[in-house]
Structure 1
Amino acid sequence: MTQAPAASSRSFFSSLSLWVLLALVGGLAAGAAASEYGLPGGAGTAEAVAAAGVLWLNALKMTIVPLVFSLLVTGIASIADAARSGRLAAKALMWFAILIVFAVIYGFAATYGLLAIWPVDEAGAAAVRAGAPAPPEGLGPGAPFTEFFKTLAPANPVRAAAEDAILGLVVFAVFFGFAATRLPDRLRLPLVAFFEAVGETMIVIVRWVLMAAPIGVFALAMGVGLTAGVGAAGVLLQYVSILCLSLIGATLLLYPLAMAFGRVGLGRFARAMAPAQVVAFSTQSSLASLPVMVERAVDALSVSRATAGLVLPLAVAVFRITSPIANLGVVIWCAHVFGIEPTPAQMVAAGLTAVLVSIGSVGLPGQVSFFVSIAPICIAMGVPLELLPILLAVEVIPDIFRTVGNVTGDVAVTRIVQGGDARAEADPGI
């Protein structure tokens, strides 16, 4: 009974991904054709199409603040509950934290390195910028580094939300979430349930908005096609390649990590991971890959069933190592397209936001988590959000490598938590 909605949701979003991708291609083609042969109705038609795209984008934006806040509160509550469940859970959470921080550092290094080798084509970037909706005013250089620290604790959280001071809002949500875990159950449980309900309500709204994604993406893509023409396809191909290469590199780095800290041979770990990675590649779902992950961890990596039964579901619930890597990659690529050079303070803010938002976005469908995870990082780094709907249309390709990397990281951490080849007994603290 509980698996049917999840399967239905995956089927819905898989079908939606196809329609959105077709809308992207159709919009770019229609825009390029209109640029070459003229658009019926002229400027009036172009403005109407642009308005439809902006309306759809604004409908997505309106869910960001309540959804991010509620997901962080409930995510922190789940982590705190897991940490209290025993030593194995605490050790797993420690490794999750270490690897997420590593993922942020790697995300910056890999994306900037790849863009240094393969820069964004300036002509294509200019055409895409011209075709995207106009970004809001006031997106200039970030505040000095000393001012950055002052914004970590917002004097007025409501004002921070209204002004898109996303990092201050995220920090407040983290403090709020940890403070809520110290309340007695009679107060904590209803409070967490309230924010869980708020988050689920926002997700319902996002799903409603995403049902119109083919129309919104077509309108936005047509605006890009009117100015960029077929040149936009080359820029998007470079974006997908940069993102996939960085994710593949991160996945490969997990192999020596498992060898060094999990005390397992390279060939053995690779053979153990292959079936789980095939499932992840085909389903793009860590949850759907969970049964085979458990089986391979127990049978091929000598992990005790108690350890696998605790760490792997916990990893699927709160850990997504590729999230900061891919999300930072999207934002950095957008920054290059818009010609923005983030300050050190903005980069630190983006890194912190990527870490914290990754906690709350775990378990959301790819199309929902894409916007919810990346928009706050864009805001923290001072990058406009206007390209995100276009990039959402091609997210289905990087999402494959996101999932493969997540599954690999989950099993690697499980092996590391287990330790040597001996099958450990269940943690008496559980």
Structure 2
Amino acid sequence: MSQATRILLSLLIGLSAGVALAAVAPAAVPGTIAIAEPIGSAWLHGLQMTIVPLVVSLLVTGVAATAEAAKAGRLAGRAIVLYVTFLFASATIAALVTPLILAIAPLPAASAQALRGALVGAAKVPAVPPLGEFFAGIVPTNVVHAAASDAFLSLIIFTLVFAFAIARIAADDRALLVRFFTALRDTMLVVIDWVLWIAPIGVFALTLVVGARAGSGAFGALVHYILVVSSVGVIVTALAYPVALVGARLPVTRFARAALPAQAVAISTQSSLASVPAMLEGARDLGVSVRTAGVTLPLAVAIFRATGPAMNLAVAIYVAAWFGVSLPPATLAVAVVVATLTSLGSVSLPGTVSYVSAIAPIAGTIGAPVAPLGLLVAVETIPDIIRTVGNVTMDLATTAWLGRRDPSE
């Protein structure tokens, strides 16, 4: 049984047990919560303790990998520019579309209120400072304090400056620092893998409390969340077809036929890497040379996650709406930048790992609580399928675009 399946089952069992307990033996609810709540809280803290070192190491190694790829030649450089452009566009789509979806089909007020009271550690929403104070505080005066206080935007800015500065020092020193942060990244991935291995226990404890306090409305709220976030991913996926039409001058039906095998692999494996052979075959059917596809497709799988910024930002916006956090346009604009940068740093990570490391900085930036992520990660299976299908579809569309414009073709 896969890790995602175990976590999802623990969520369903925990919610059902909590709802049943509240209905059958309400007198036992306080005692059960007194035992389950500390367990769920401890697991959630274990998940949160990995975020800062993981985000820093991912950004440093991600910038280093992108810089090295850009040196590989003109085709790789053009590909990276195109990928970053689309990542930014992906985040922008979420910033525009998600509030609109939530305005048309909001989470029922009763469910939102019940879940706010039920979620462990999420009762206090971080205060968002006035806009002038917010921008004045972007550059950290003390990076250690920024890390300790989860000031993710300040931490990201310092880390980016640090990562680009590494590219300017001597080659031996640069290699030493990159190896250090690679080792730090890999170590934190081991730690988070341990935390996720015991996730069924933590998620069961969290959802038992949520079910007991929020009742059956919790099921409907989670379904609503899945539909909203998945809808944003579907919109980004659909964008691949006009990209192929306009950028590669391909008929939509021809591109759809070529993309279908890779999409089928993506649905069955939830892995962009496993979809590479099918994508290479699809690129050949679209007339892209092996030389071009052999460079752009592996590069796209490594650094280009087209649905990442959109769906990550959609989750953060959803949590903000859930907890009544106001999101003015300036805050959303900053969130778009953060979503783009964190997605670029989420290189080749499993879905459950990238979910936490990529969304927590966005949530922290817009003032949304991070604690709900411990619950929402348990229902990531369906959105993760949408993510993977969207990623491979856009990988193929951009490869066709680059193939048409490659002078050597």
TM range (shorter): over 0.9
Amino acid at match of 1:293: M
Q: What is the Cα deviation at residue 117 of structure 1?
A: 1.4
Alignment of 1:353 with 2:344, yes or no, is no
CA distance in 2, matches of 1:67, 1:359: 13
Question: For the Cα contact (< 8 Å) 2:315–2:359, is it kept in 1?
Answer: yes
Alignment of 1:161 with 2:147, yes or no, is yes
Q: Which residue of 1 aligns with 2:350?
A: 365
Q: Which residue of 1 aligns with 2:255?
A: 269
SS at match of 1:385: coil
- For residues 141-160 of structure 1, the aligned pairs below 5 Å read 142-160=128-146
Question: For the Cα contact (< 8 Å) 2:58–2:347, is it kept in 1?
Answer: no
Identify the match of residue 387 of structure 2 among 389, 392, 402: 402
Identify the match of residue 364 of structure 2 among 379, 382, 392: 379
Q: Which residue of 1 aligns with 2:310?
A: 325
Q: Which residue of 2 aligns with 1:61?
A: 48
Q: What is the Cα deviation at residue 40 of structure 1?
A: 7.3
Question: For the Cα contact (< 8 Å) 1:143–1:345, is it kept in 2?
Answer: no
SS at match of 1:183: coil
Alignment of 1:171 with 2:163, yes or no, is no
Q: Which residue of 1 aligns with 2:88?
A: 101
Q: Which residue of 1 aligns with 2:275?
A: 289
Q: What is the Cα deviation at residue 116 of structure 1?
A: 1.4
Alignment of 1:235 with 2:221, yes or no, is yes
Question: For the Cα contact (< 8 Å) 2:95–2:313, is it kept in 1?
Answer: yes
CA distance in 1, matches of 2:27, 2:407: 71
Question: For the Cα contact (< 8 Å) 2:111–2:221, is it kept in 1?
Answer: yes
CA distance in 1, matches of 2:125, 2:102: 26
Amino acid at match of 2:310: I
Amino acid at match of 2:24: Y
Q: Which residue of 1 aligns with 2:112?
A: 125
Structure 1 alignment gaps of length 5 or more: 1-13
CA distance in 2, matches of 1:242, 1:391: 13
Q: What is the Cα deviation at residue 46 of structure 1?
A: 1.1
- For residues 178-257 of structure 1, the aligned pairs below 5 Å read 178-257=164-243
Q: What is the Cα deviation at residue 345 of structure 1?
A: 3.9
Q: Which residue of 2 aligns with 1:11?
A: none
CA distance in 2, matches of 1:369, 1:304: 32
Alignment size in residue pairs: 409
TM-score (norm 1): 0.92
Q: What is the Cα deviation at residue 38 of structure 1?
A: 2.2
Cα deviation code 1:34-66 (max 9, x no counterpart): 211226755233122001000000001111111
CA distance in 2, matches of 1:151, 1:161: 14
Q: What is the Cα deviation at residue 390 of structure 1?
A: 1.4
Distance 1:401 1:200, change over 3 A: same
Q: Which runs of 4+ in 1 moved over 4 A?
A: 39-42
Q: What is the Cα deviation at residue 195 of structure 1?
A: 0.1
- Percent identity between the aligned chains? 45
Alignment of 1:418 with 2:408, yes or no, is no
SS at match of 1:154: coil
CA distance in 1, matches of 2:3, 2:105: 31
CA distance in 1, matches of 2:54, 2:283: 34
SS at match of 1:351: helix
Question: For the Cα contact (< 8 Å) 2:243–2:398, is it kept in 1?
Answer: no
Question: For the Cα contact (< 8 Å) 2:90–2:307, is it kept in 1?
Answer: yes
Question: For the Cα contact (< 8 Å) 1:144–1:345, is it kept in 2?
Answer: no
CA distance in 2, matches of 1:108, 1:344: 9
Alignment of 1:82 with 2:86, yes or no, is no
Q: What is the Cα deviation at residue 143 of structure 1?
A: 2.1
CA distance in 2, matches of 1:336, 1:22: 27
CA distance in 2, matches of 1:148, 1:69: 21
Amino acid at match of 1:101: F
CA distance in 2, matches of 1:386, 1:87: 43
Identify the match of residue 34 of structure 1 among 18, 21, 25: 21
CA distance in 2, matches of 1:245, 1:367: 19
Q: What is the Cα deviation at residue 290 of structure 1?
A: 0.8
- After superposition, the CA RMSD in angstroms is 1.5
Identify the match of residue 20 of structure 1 among 7, 12, 27: 7
Structure 2 alignment gaps of length 5 or more: none
CA distance in 2, matches of 1:402, 1:42: 38
TM-score (norm 2): 0.97
SS at match of 1:152: coil
Q: Which residue of 1 aligns with 2:377?
A: 392
